[in-house]
Structure 1
Amino acid sequence: MKKKKLLIYAHYYTPDVASTGQILKELAEGMLDTFDITVICVVPSYSGKIEAKYKTKKFYYEEINGVKVVRIRVPEFSKQNKVSRIKNIMSYFFGSMLATFKVGHQDYVFSISQPPILGGLLGVWGKWTKQAKFIYNIQDFNPEQVMAVGYSKNKLLLKLMMALDKFSCRQSSLVITVGRDLVTTLKERFKPGKAPKVAMINNWIDEKAIHPVAAEDSHVLVFKRKYHLEDKFIVMYSGNIGLYYDLENLIKVVQKFPAETKVSDGREVEFVFVGAGTMLSTLKEYVEKHHMQNVKFVPYQPKSELIYSLNAADIHWCVNAKGIKGVSCPSKFYGIAAAGKPVLGVLESGSEVQRLIAEHHGGYLAAPGDYAKVESNLKRVFAHTSELAKMGRNNREHLVSNLTKQLSIRRYSELITSLKGNG
């Protein structure tokens, strides 16, 4: 039987390290038994830099593990420069519209909510030009996310963004979100009974590729030696060091625990931030200004090394800024859980990951903005390190039983193939 064709708009795709790009790679490859899949994305450029081999043509055609990939050349950008980022994003948007004409007939079009608003509109464009069913995967709600962190206060712009994204939702055959709280947000956007069809599927990490590794594993030790973390108690933040995590205030809590701070087994505490993003320079400047000797910044790790960096930590931050409940879901939790590590959560009550941690006793929780609670949780962690192993096991066991890559991808395939008819 001939496979149905599925077109995916994915701003970033492997080898870019963006979390959504990695998820979409695994989703696409995992659905190849059901669909003939094409991905439209940018040339590798998540860091802002672009290799010379991707600077000569408008479009590049590749095949990665059975998935056809059309890459769009975009200009380089700086994550600290709004204008350059906008130019980059708009190049992707208009380039994707053109690339849509190059991929032939499609039965289904799948688009994610990135870039904000434009991701949804690309899905609508694909639906119209291909006469296809449109599945809108909302990883983050905008303009709600923009409003939550005060990135823009232009009421006219925010109103336009909301109207456009609601239009994309209404044009979809199905909206898929990644948290129970996000389902609620979608329904609240519309009058009772007027919301589009919606389903929830958790994000994931490959639980076979990321799993618990012993502290004495040679690769873990290599990571620790490289960054001078031997014999330290490591509190790690791993992922995008961006706007939506209140890190500029959490670093002030970290400052209350100076270099001589020790945990109950005698190890000194080290706070390690792994990744990059718009807030990285702000954090570095704060640490340097206040002479914080037990804070380290480590670059993004290659995917092949992620298992070792995650396992090097004794406990991981999983945080969101206030107002992000129902708007975004920190997918970094799945990597932490897969590695069998406990969580220092700074998450709003009722948000998807907060519920997962609370329901399965996977770590310590505080609400965003409750810095006194964050501080007391850190003190408890340092005083009672014997509690951590059980919390880490709880996270791993729940993930393996309920949140696996295979379960989530199968659900995507089932929902998409259940959509009948055209348009």
Structure 2
Amino acid sequence: MRILMLTQYFPPETGAAQVRLLEIAKGIRAAGHEVEVVTAFPNHPEGIIPAPYRGRFFRRDEVEGIPVYRTWIYPVPRGSFWKRLLNYFSFVFSAAWGILKAGPADYLFVESPPLFIGFTVMFARRVKRAKVIFNVSDLWPESAVSLGLVTNNTLIGLTTRLEEHLYKISWRISTQTEGIVRTLQERGIPAEKLVLLPNGVDPALFQPGDPERRLVQELDLEGKFVILYAGTMGYAHGLEVALRAADILRRKEEGRDVVFLFVGDGSERPRLAKTAQELGLDNIRWVPFQPLGEIHRYYNLADVSLSTLRRYKLAEGVRPSKVFPGLASAKPLIYVGEGEGAKIIRESGGGLVLPPEEPERLAEAVLTLKSDPGLREEMGRRGREYVIRHYDWQSLVRRWLEGMGLLGDRRVESAAGRRERGVSSGETEVSEQELRVIDQELGSNVGDRKP
């Protein structure tokens, strides 16, 4: 069986979607199937295309042995709504070339958002004559409307019609949360068409370890009690609550050695940094996005991990991916939010659950964990045991394939057949040296702690 993945985001970029998509691809291959990926040139979140890709329209890479067909995209670090639309639609059109260059496919796996990739899907399913597995990691435009980020009724109407058409033409609709499954069922999608693939973690990568002395010194964390937030900093995450809690804690005798370590980036990062500066917070550290293979080093610096969400309608069905690395690293987790994420923390016994947007409660929870090393150790142990049992990526992907009836289908194209297709002119493999350049240009280094 041959599966072609179509996604705007993929490693070496970092982020929840990128990690999930690579794990899905690896899981498909581990099940004995053929998998290829059509994606954009690396550019997210910095909005910079690395040197090895500049001046090109197309390039063939491999990521962990998986063939990846990359096409040009209009990069946008942080821009206006219209510039972001240009970013989305540039890939909508360029991805068609990647589809043509990729091999035959029985199934087309599509990552959404961005929803506009659906236009490419309509082309790809006809060219490849493949069944569509439409992966909905976030309901769009519903989530954007719920957060007040999209208010144009014409755009909402057009994207809703596109969304409904994609649901109609899909063979299966895969989702990351039970809340999305329920919402789609309420909208009339048959239950047999829906399959759950929750976010997970690689427990072998994220496991307890000692903090690196160099990082401790570089980030000025000697003798500090470290609260780690690692991941995207978007509007939905409501990270103001962490800054307000940091402000409260620095004014308390028992909280003066508490430091909040933010690792990542996102649309809200500049505003958060400005707020921290205005408040005069000296108990904040900033580190850019890290590659998947490096982020565990920052969890080993932490005493507690943190996940936050703003209060909004669709938050009930959100299951933040950043929850799982923290639990796997045996760090007690403070979950500020409601819904499915809160349910996981309560079931695991691996942390504390707080209501959104209440910084006083967050500051209090930090001091509770700080004062009780035994509680932290017990929560850490329970959290790690829980994710190993329920959220190991390899097991999740196998169950997902089984739920679609694809686990036993092992019709794989022969190696000779792949050689026959070969690598077309203009296609190249990415070298180790180029990978280092790409990582550096995408902000993989620790860099300056200041925003």
| TM-score of the pair, normalised by structure 1 | 0.89
Paired with 1:311 and 1:145, the residues of 2 have a C-alpha distance of 33
Residue 246 of structure 1: how far off its partner (Å): 0.8
Bigger mean CA offset, 42-51 vs 21-30: 21-30
Q: Distance in 2 between matches of 1:51 and 1:174?
A: 35
Residues 361, 131 of structure 1: alpha-carbon distance in 2 compared, 3 angstrom cutoff: same
- The answer to whether residue 254 in structure 2 is matched with residue 262 in structure 1 is yes
- What are the equivalent positions in structure 2 for 1:121-200 lying under 5 Å apart? 121-190=119-188, 194=190, 197-200=193-196
Judged with a 3 Å threshold, the aligned counterparts in structure 2 of structure 1 residues 407 and 195 are, in CA distance, closer, same or farther, namely closer
Work out whether 1:285 is the aligned partner of 2:260. no
2:311 aligned with 1:322, yes or no? yes
What is the alpha-carbon distance in structure 1 between the residues aligned to residue 317 and residue 134 of structure 2?
Answer: 15
1:130-169, Cα deviation, whole Å (9 max, x unpaired): 2211111111111121022211122332233222212212
- Show the counterpart of 2:239: 247
Q: What's the offset of the Cα at 1:291?
A: 0.8
Q: For the residues of structure 2 that align with 1:83 and 1:249, how far apart are their CA atoms?
A: 30
Matched, 1:228 2:208: no
1:354 corresponds in structure 2 to 342
Match of 1:390 among 375, 378, 382: 378
Partner of 2:362 in structure 1?
374
**Aligned counterpart, 2:96:** 97
Once superposed, what is the RMSD of the aligned Cα atoms?
Answer: 2.2
Aligned AA for 2:401?
Answer: S
Deviation per residue, 1:150-195 (Å, 9 max, x gap): 11122332233222212212221111111222211221223xx756
Change (3 A) 1:376 1:160: farther
Distance 1:387 1:175 in 2: 41
* Structure 2: tracts of 5 or more residues without a match: 410-451
Using the size of structure 2 for normalisation, the TM-score is 0.84
Q: Aligned AA for 1:256?
A: I
Q: For 2:328, which of 334, 338, 359 is the aligned residue?
A: 338
Deviations 1:235-279 (A, max 9, x none): 11111111210113442233211166436xxx8111111111111
Count how many residue pairs are aligned between Structure 1 and Structure 2: 405
Identical positions, percent: 26
Q: CA deviation at 1:48?
A: 0.9
Question: Letter of the aligned partner of 1:248 in structure 2?
Answer: E
Residues in 2 aligned to 1:157 and 1:261: alpha-carbon distance in whole angstroms: 52
Secondary structure of the corresponding residue to residue 21 of structure 1: helix
Match for residue 51 of structure 1? 50
Q: Distance in 1 between matches of 2:50 and 2:406?
A: 41
Counterpart check, 1:24 vs 2:31: no
Greater RCO, CA 8 A, separation 6+: 2
* Matched letter for residue 355 of structure 1: K
How far residue 209 of structure 1 moved from its aligned partner, in angstroms, is 1.2
SS at match of 2:205: coil
Q: Could you tell which deviates more after superposition, 411-420 or 94-103? A: 411-420
2:393 is matched with 405
- For residue 325 of structure 1, what is the amino acid of its counterpart? A
1:64 is matched with which residue? 63
Query: What's the CA shift string for 1:336-389, capped at 9, x where partnerless?
Result: 1111111111111xx222111011222111222344433432343344343111
Q: Distance in 1 between matches of 2:334 and 2:213?
A: 23
Q: 1:302 aligns with which of 291, 294, 297?
A: 291
Q: 1:185 to 1:129 in 2, by over 3 A?
A: same
Question: 2:143, 2:132 → 1: CA distance?
Answer: 23
Could you list the per-position Cα deviations for residues 48-75 of structure 1 after superposition, in whole angstroms to 9, with x for gaps in the alignment? Answer: 1112221222111122333111101123
Secondary structure of the equivalent of 1:305?
A: helix
Instruction: Say which of 196, 207, 211 aligns to 2:207.
Output: 211
Q: Matched residue of 1:270: which SS?
A: strand
SS at match of 1:94: helix
